[in-house]
Structure 1
Amino acid sequence: MASITERPKADGTVTYQIKWRQDGEWQTEKFGDHPGAIQFKQLVEAHGSRWPHGWVRGVGFVEPDANPQDMPLIKWAERYISRLNGVDERTREDYEREVRIHFSLIQHTRGDGLVVPATVCNLTQDDVDDWVRIERQGEREPNNPKKWIRLPADPKSIRNRHGLLFCIIQAAIDATPQLRTVNCCKKTSLPRMDDHIEDDMTFLERDEYARVAMEIKDPDARDLADWLVSTGMRWGEATALQVRDLSLSADIPTANIQRAWKKAPKGAPETFYLGPPKTRKGRRLIALSSAQVATARRLSEGYSPEAFLFRAAMGGPWRHGNFYHRKWRPAVLAAVAKGLPKRPRLHDLRHTHVAWLIGAGIPLPAIQARLGHESIQTTVDRYGHLVRELDSDIIAAVDAAMGLPAPRAALHRVV
C-alpha cells in the first residue's frame, strides 16, 4: 500500500509525498496538490504497488511520441524567466511569483480523461482554457462556501498572466531543438477588461477636484496633487522630477521625464530606486502651463540641479504610502463627508487629467504622447469611450435622416 505524507515548506506551501515499496526498495513521488497526490496513490495501488506505465518521475505521464526534451511546465517557465534580458530584478521576481502561485494551477487532461501534471509539450488549448476558468472562478473552502481559499482574479490580472504564459510557450516553439510547433495560448477566450459593473477609473469634474484639494492642508502636498492632475504624470514620474529636468525659459516651457521610482528587489538596502520610466515612450517632454511654470519656479528656486522638485517635510522625496495615508486619503474622506459623491484614488488624478483633455477636444494621439503610452491602442482602450466631441454631429445626422419622409411602395388596385 502507498501512503501520503504532508511536507510543509518554509514559504508556507505544502507538498505531498507518495511513498511505497517496489521490489523491496522505497519509491517516492511528490505533488503540489492533494487531489493529484490521491489520484497518483490510487494509480500506484492499481498497478500492484509499481510505477504506473508511462509515468516519468517528476514529469508525469509521457506519451509514446513525447519529445525527449520535454520538462515540467513550471521548470521551463522558471528557465525562461531566469534568462530574460531587459527587465529589472523586481519585475523578474514578480514573474517568478506568478509562475509559483498561478501557473502551478495548470494541469493537463489526457485524451482518456486522466489529469496529469502539465509539461511544456503536453499543454493544450483546452488546458489553458480550463486554467483561465479556474482563475476567474477562484476557489471556496469546501466546508465554508463564504470563505475563499483563492479569490477570483480580475480580468486584467488574467490577461497579464496569460500574456506571460503565451511568451513562455512561444519560447518553446523558438527553442533549438524545437519543443513545440503550435502555441496553445493563441485562441484563448479571455475575459473582457470591462467585464464588471464598477468602473475601475474615477473621473473628477473640476469642481470635484477642487473640493478634495481644499481639504489638503499641507501646501507642499497640495502642490504635488495639483501637479499630478494638471500634467497627467504617473506618481513615480512626478516625484522623481529634479530641478535639472525643467526648461522654464523656453518658448514652450517643459518638464523632461527621464526617470521614475521603482520598487527594489527583496533584500535590497533601499525599498525604492530611480530607474527609467515605465515604457520606452515614457521618456518624453511635457509642456507646462503658466501656472505650472510658476509652481516650478517657486519650488526650484535656490536648489541644486539634482534636488527633487517635490519634497516632503524632511526635504526628501515623497513616498506614495506616506502621501496617500497622511495627505490624500484624509482629504478625500473629508470631502466625502461634505457631500463629494466619489472616492478617487491617487492614480485617478491621471485619469482625470485625460478626461479634461478629451473634454477640451484634444485628439487621442496627442494624449498618448503626453501620457507616455507605448501604444495608441492603450490610450484608445482606456479612454476612447470618453471621446464625445462628435456626438452633436452624429445626433444632427440622425435627426436629418429621420426627418425625411420614408419612401412608400406604390399601391396598385387589382382588378
Structure 2
Amino acid sequence: MIGYRNDKGKGFSPMYLKTIHNQLTAIFNHAVRFYELKSNPARTVGCMGSKKSDKEMLVWTKEEYIKFSDSMMDKDISFHAFEILYWCGIRVGELLALTPADFNFKEGTVSITKSYQRIKGEDIITTPKTEKGKRIINMPDFLVDEMQDYIARLYGCKQKSRIFPITKAVLYSEMRRGATEQNIKKIRIHDLRHSHVSLLIDMGFSAVAIADRVGHESIDITYHYAHLFPTKQNEIANSLNNLKEGN
C-alpha cells in the first residue's frame, strides 16, 4: 500500500497514510479486546505516514501584515475582512458568516457561532468546525472602532445579514494582489490564522490562553506551534538547574 502510485506516479500523502494507519490500529485493537487476537500487528510494524501536512506553515510578521493592509485600503470590504482575520485569528469560514448581531461593541467582543461555505452555488451556514470553535473573542480597541464604523456604513444591512458578502476566491485574489504590490512573501489565507498565533506566542501568551481565543485545544497549540516556542525549552532547563542548585 505504501508503495502505491496512481497513473501520474503520485503516491498517497503522509497525512492520508497516517489516517489509514490509525483506522487499522483501532480495528485491530477491537479484535484484540473482543476476538482473542494475540497482538495488534499495526502497532508491531510501527507507524506509517505523518500527521504533519506537506504544506509549510508560513506566517506574516506584524510589520509584513501592516504593509499588506496598506494595499487593502482602497477596498473597504477587503481591508476590514483581513483586519478581523489577522487580529482575531479566526477561520475564513467563520469570517464570512459574521453578521452585525455577532458584535457587541459595548463589550468590545465578537461571537463566533457559525461558519460559511458556498457549495454548488448555494450559501451554506453551519456550526463551527469543533465545539471549541464556539467562542467569544475580545477585540483590540482599534478594531472595535474600525468594525463599528464599517458596519454603520453598510447600506441596508440587517442584524442577520452577512457583513462580508464575498467568497474565499475574492480573498485569495486580494492576498495575491497585496503581497505582490508590497513585495512580501505570498501565504495562504489560513496562514493569517497561523500568523495571529505566532504573534501571540511572541507576545508571551500561554498555549491555554491562545487556544481559547482561536478555538483549539491547548494540546493542539503546543503540538502544531512547538517550533515557535524556541526559548521555552531553555527556560525549563535553566529553571530545573536553578532548582537543583537551590537558587
TM-score by length of 1: 0.50
Equivalent-residue separation in structure 2 for 1:306 and 1:397 (angstroms) = 52
User: Which structure shows the bigger proportion of residues in strand conformation?
Assistant: 1
Distance 1:307-1:171 versus aligned 2 partners, 3 A rule: farther
Matches within 5 A, 1:80-99: none
Contact in 1 for aligned 2:71/2:181 (Cα 8 Å): yes
1:151 partner letter: K
The yes-or-no answer on 1:238 pairing with 2:92 is no
Matches within 5 A, 1:95-134: 131=1, 133-134=2-3
Find 2:166's aligned residue among 309, 314, 318.
Answer: 318
Cα RMSD, aligned residues only? 3.3
Find 1:218's aligned residue among 51, 54, 75.
Answer: 75
Equivalent-residue separation in structure 2 for 1:209 and 1:359 (angstroms) = 15
How big is each residue's C-alpha offset from its partner over 1:288-341, in whole Å with a ceiling of 9 and x where there is no partner?
11112112211222632102232xxxxxx220012212x1112222233xxx3x
| Structure number, greater radius of gyration | 1
Equivalent-residue separation in structure 2 for 1:349 and 1:249 (angstroms) = 27
Cα distance, 1:159 vs. partner?
A: 2.1
Contact in 2 for aligned 1:212/1:331 (Cα 8 Å): yes
Cα distance, 1:393 vs. partner?
A: 4.3
- The worse-fitting range, judged by mean Cα deviation, of 294-303 and 376-385 is 294-303
How big is each residue's C-alpha offset from its partner over 1:85-130, in whole Å with a ceiling of 9 and x where there is no partner?
xxxxxxxxxxxxxxxxxxxxxxxxxxxxxxxxxxxxxxxxxxxxxx
Equivalent-residue separation in structure 1 for 2:167 and 2:31 (angstroms) = 43
Cα distance, 1:283 vs. partner?
A: 0.7
TM-score by length of 2: 0.80
Equivalent-residue separation in structure 1 for 2:175 and 2:232 (angstroms) = 36
Q: Structure 1: 5+ residue runs without aligned partners? A: 1-130, 140-147, 311-316, 401-415
Q: How many residues align?
A: 235
1:286 partner letter: I
1:307 partner letter: S
Distance 1:194-1:273 versus aligned 2 partners, 3 A rule: closer
- Secondary structure of the residue aligned to 1:151 is coil
Cα distance, 1:391 vs. partner?
A: 6.6
Cα distance, 1:359 vs. partner?
A: 0.3
Contact in 2 for aligned 1:255/1:288 (Cα 8 Å): yes
Cα distance, 1:202 vs. partner?
A: 0.6
Find 1:297's aligned residue among 140, 148, 171.
Answer: 148
Q: Structure 2: 5+ residue runs without aligned partners? A: 243-247
Matches within 5 A, 1:187-206: 187=44, 188-193=46-51, 200-206=56-62
2:14 is matched with 155
Contact in 2 for aligned 1:296/1:309 (Cα 8 Å): no
Equivalent-residue separation in structure 2 for 1:320 and 1:163 (angstroms) = 32
Equivalent-residue separation in structure 2 for 1:358 and 1:259 (angstroms) = 26
1:288 is matched with 139
Kindly indicate whether structure 1 or structure 2 has the higher relative contact order, using CA contacts under 8 Å at least 6 residues apart: 2
Equivalent-residue separation in structure 1 for 2:103 and 2:31 (angstroms) = 47
Counting aligned pairs with the same residue, the percent is 22
Equivalent-residue separation in structure 2 for 1:180 and 1:262 (angstroms) = 46
- Secondary structure of the residue aligned to 1:134 is coil
- Secondary structure of the residue aligned to 2:162 is coil
Equivalent-residue separation in structure 2 for 1:385 and 1:297 (angstroms) = 36
Equivalent-residue separation in structure 1 for 2:150 and 2:59 (angstroms) = 28
Distance 1:157-1:272 versus aligned 2 partners, 3 A rule: farther
2:218 partner letter: I
1:259 is matched with 114
Cα distance, 1:279 vs. partner?
A: 0.6
2:65 partner letter: Y
Equivalent-residue separation in structure 1 for 2:116 and 2:23 (angstroms) = 24
2:245 is matched with none
2:226 is matched with 384
1:233 partner letter: I
Find 1:362's aligned residue among 205, 208, 216.
Answer: 205
2:65 is matched with 209
How big is each residue's C-alpha offset from its partner over 1:146-167, in whole Å with a ceiling of 9 and x where there is no partner?
xx62423332233234445555
Cα distance, 1:355 vs. partner?
A: 0.5
Equivalent-residue separation in structure 1 for 2:220 and 2:234 (angstroms) = 26
- Secondary structure of the residue aligned to 2:3 is helix
User: Which structure shows the bigger proportion of residues in helix conformation?
Assistant: 2
1:283 partner letter: K
Distance 1:392-1:171 versus aligned 2 partners, 3 A rule: closer
